[in-house]
Amino acid sequence: MDRDRSGSLDAEEFANCCRINRLGLSDSEQRVLMRAFDTDFNGTINYDEFLRGVRGRLSTTRKKMVRT
């Protein structure tokens, strides 16, 4: 999906990703989702932002497992 190999997805790459994966989102829905993932507000989504957006925050139990 990262056509320019920048390490993140810009709005065009993200829209292409949504189309390829047949998410059925309108342009405005894609923009809303992009803003939700883009937690540093730089106009791109990096891998960490994507994972946090998909998985959410670590629960207390998961944090304990990670620390051991």
pLDDT at 68: 67
Residue 15 buriedness (CB in 10 A; 0-12 / 13-18 / 19+): middle
- Residue-by-residue pLDDT tens, the chain, 68 positions: 999 999 999 999 999 999 999 999 999 999 999 999 999 999 999 999 998 888 877 778 877 787 76
pLDDT at 61: 83
pLDDT at 23: 94
pTM of this structure: 0.75
Kind and range of the H or E run holding 45: strand 45-46
